[in-house]
């Protein structure tokens, strides 16, 4: 009898400055990003923003194949708390899901999230959200209903599964909010994309969060969080974008997250999916390829 398959390591275009909120500065082209992901020792990538990479499945498949990379997921933000946004969100999700399915069948994940960074209060208080900032009961029901609607359509039409990505500066940030959304959604329909950095910045302990939600975790993002900048963000009341600009999500191993313990727990519980390394790198913060190489070397020292 063979044991579980190996954990595989990918990176994502956000580590090269391709971010959904269109920060200042110019990100690199997709060909260079894919080359550098490969050269830094990763086996896969997520899609990045729509149209950053080719949107013709055959072209995208060829670009990945010639570099020995796999497409492992795509991030799709939707303002789920607003019912009027559900229809458009579902259409965008289906467009993305059809591209992924055309590239790699039904193996990648569609990574759903709130439309982060759009609500002024949540953006201002990212990393220090309290109960008064939460959705009301009607909004919770609307939010969960929208997530399930998209996940069901994606599954029924493409065979892909959806995971939800908790994210700072969005309505699902804190450990309590993550738990509430999981309680309100069908566990066979909606999984969790567990992000170690966002869980930490959102006020949780990443290992405890992993252990608590392991049965819903289908996809994992490895991101670190600087303890010094985490504290400064609270004291100086930075908004989310200011925290990013200061480098809140630092190189792996230089922050608060105990990745050795996280990996041990993933192995103990038989996780065989992808780990996607993410370090949100804005223009002027340094060379993304150098960060990516050091992050990969760090994980190799931990045995993956």
CA distance 241 to 244: 5
Predicted confidence at residue 43, as pLDDT, reads 97
> Is residue 261 in a domain?
yes
Per-residue buried b or exposed e for 202-226, using 16+ beta carbons within 10 Å of the residue's own CB? bbbebbebbebbbebbbbbbbbbbb
Question: In degrees rounded to 5, what are phi and psi of residue 165?
Answer: -100, 110
CA distance 15 to 202: 20
Mean pLDDT of the residues in the chain: 94
Closest CA to 38 of 67, 17, 9: 67
> Is residue 245 in a domain?
yes
Burial of 10 (0-12, 13-18, 19+ CB in 10 A): buried
Q: How confident is the model at residue 5 (pLDDT cuts 50, 70, 90)?
A: low
Q: What is the pLDDT of residues 37-91, one digit of tens each?
A: 999 999 999 999 999 999 999 999 999 999 999 999 999 999 999 999 999 999 9
Q: How many domains does the chain have?
A: 1
> Is residue 64 in a domain?
yes
> Is residue 15 in a domain?
yes
Q: What is the pLDDT of residues 232-255, one digit of tens each?
A: 999 999 999 999 999 999 999 999
Q: How confident is the model at residue 3 (pLDDT cuts 50, 70, 90)?
A: very low
Average pLDDT over residues 157-171: 97
Per-residue buried b or exposed e for 136-152, using 16+ beta carbons within 10 Å of the residue's own CB? eeeebebbbebbbbbbe
> Is residue 1 in a domain?
no
Give the residue numbers spanning the domain of 243.
Answer: 8-301
Closest CA to 86 of 13, 41, 153, 27: 153
CA distance 252 to 291: 9
> Is residue 134 in a domain?
yes
Q: What is the pLDDT of residues 250-296, one digit of tens each?
A: 999 999 999 999 999 999 999 999 999 999 876 556 689 999 999 99
Strand duo 44-46 + 274-277: pairing: unpaired
Question: In degrees rounded to 5, what are phi and psi of residue 84?
Answer: -70, -15
CA distance 61 to 229: 39
The CATH code of the domain that includes 194 is: 3.20.20.150
Burial of 188 (0-12, 13-18, 19+ CB in 10 A): exposed
> Is residue 158 in a domain?
yes
**Any bridge partners for residue 273, and if so which?**
none
> Is residue 2 in a domain?
no
**What SS3 class is residue 219?**
strand
């Amino acid at each position: 009898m063979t044991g579980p398959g190996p954990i595989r390591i990918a990176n994502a275009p956000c580590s090269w400055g391709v971010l959904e909120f269109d920060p200042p500065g110019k990100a690199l082209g997709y060909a260079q990003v894919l080359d550098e992901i490969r050269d830094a020792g990763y086996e896969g990538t997520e899609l990045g923003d729509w149209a950053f990479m080719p949107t013709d499945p055959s072209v995208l498949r060829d670009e990945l194949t010639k570099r020995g990379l796999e497409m492992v997921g795509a991030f799709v933000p939707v303002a789920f708390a607003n019912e009027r946004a559900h229809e458009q969100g579902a259409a965008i999700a289906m467009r993305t899901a059809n591209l992924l399915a055309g590239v790699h069948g039904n193996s990648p994940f569609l990574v759903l999230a709130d439309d982060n960074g759009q609500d002024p209060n949540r953006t201002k208080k990212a990393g220090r959200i309290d109960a008064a900032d939460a959705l009301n009961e009607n909004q919770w029901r609307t939010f969960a209903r929208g997530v399930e609607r998209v996940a069901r359509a994606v599954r029924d039409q493409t065979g892909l599964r959806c995971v939800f990505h908790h994210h700072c500066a969005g309505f699902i940030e804190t450990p309590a909010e993550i738990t509430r959304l999981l309680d309100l959604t069908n566990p066979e329909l909606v999984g969790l994309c567990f992000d170690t950095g966002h869980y930490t910045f959102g006020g949780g302990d990443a290992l405890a969060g992993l252990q608590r939600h392991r049965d819903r975790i289908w996809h994992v993002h490895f991101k670190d969080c600087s303890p010094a900048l985490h504290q400064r963000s609270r004291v100086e009341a930075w908004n989310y974008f200011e925290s990013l600009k200061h480098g809140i999500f630092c190189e792996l191993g230089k922050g608060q997250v105990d990745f050795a313990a996280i990996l041990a727990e993933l192995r103990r519980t038989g996780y065989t999916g992808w780990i996607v390394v993410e370090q949100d790198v804005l223009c002027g913060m340094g060379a993304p390829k150098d960060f990516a190489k050091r992050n990969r070397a760090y994980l190799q020292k931990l045995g993956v």
